[in-house]
A = this chain, B = another copy of it.
Amino acid sequence: MAAQAGVALKTVSRVVNGEPGVGPGTLARVEQAIIELGYRRNESARQLRSGRAGTLAMVVRDIADPFFAAIGRAVEMTAHRDGQVVMIGSTHEDPKREREVALAFCARRPDALILAPIADSQDYLHPEVEAGLPVVAIDRPAHGILADTVLSDNVGGIRAAVAHLVSHGHRRIGYLGDDQMVYTARERVVAYRAALAEHGIAGDEALVRLAAPTPEGIAHSLGDLLGLGPVPGGLAGAGPVTALITANNRITAEVLRQLPNLPRRTALIGFDDLELADLLVPGLTVIAQDAEGIGRAAMELLDTRLTDPRLPAREVRIPTTLIIRGSAE
């Protein structure tokens, strides 16, 4: 490329790394050589392998969600070891914003993109992927583009939680999940129904509440499920639940906040761990996702894809762990 542009290698390096000290005419020649030689693709692979300062883009749903913050940290740690910098942004569950943030980041020419999708389709990334940008979807699959995927073993996590509750005598197990539009919410509630069936428990859809978590919605659902609702006795006929599964950390935190005013005997297992969850009385039993494992797996998938961009799309499932602390025992 230096030859093509008729400049020194050092000058190319300056342009690529955005360093000062390059005259406008020279910059123009190097930029042109970059475009003509399709520089970006190979350089990205080289940078990632060689440990030269490259940049990874990471777009999550909410950086203030401890789950995504922990994945971000794991990615940063691995990237730093490889001499890379990570730029992280949030979509806040807004498909339009996912597109804006992801494209704004892509315009900064990252070596790769790690994305927690919220939009129905990521086809807006098609030109980037065609130009050689490796994409890894985390937490939920991407659609409309070639992307590797790292997901938690949602089914295994829910199965372990249901088995644990059944082994403690529970058969009326309530379920508070997120909106079914959300991939993980869907996967988890399907796993809940299947796990009940495995234990010979007839599913009762009256015990299942699926909605974006709001304090009011959760208060209402808890009232119903625990027999404290506007209808005396709560659920018609069958009576209140004896156990609850809360299907993500936002729902769990809200339920914990509301539970002091509700029957504390109800067993509770939350999906996702929370800081200080071990210090509650009783300690909170959780299905912990391996944020570090997810971050590391994403980096490994990127690494192999940069080495061989023609690999078919791969999917990795990261195991969850049931951490028993007292709230469901």
Contacts and interface: CB of A to CB of B under 8 A. Distances in A.
A70 interface: yes
Given A27-B31, A85-B105, 18 more contacts: A18-B106, A18-B109, A20-B127, A24-B31, A24-B35, A24-B36, A28-B28, A55-B104, A64-B73, A66-B69, A69-B69, A76-B90, A80-B97, A86-B89, A86-B90, A87-B87, A87-B105, A275-B276
Contact of A88 (B25, B27, B63, B253): B63
A249 to B, nearest CB: 9
Interface residues of A, number: 56
Interface in A174-209: none
Interface string A39-80: 000000000000001010100001110100110110011001
A275 B66 contact: yes
B257 A278 contact: yes
Interface string A126-144: 0100000000000000000
B70 A85 contact: no
B63 A104 contact: no
Given A66-B275, A279-B280, A28 B32 contact: yes
Interface in A249-287: 253, 256-257, 260, 274-281
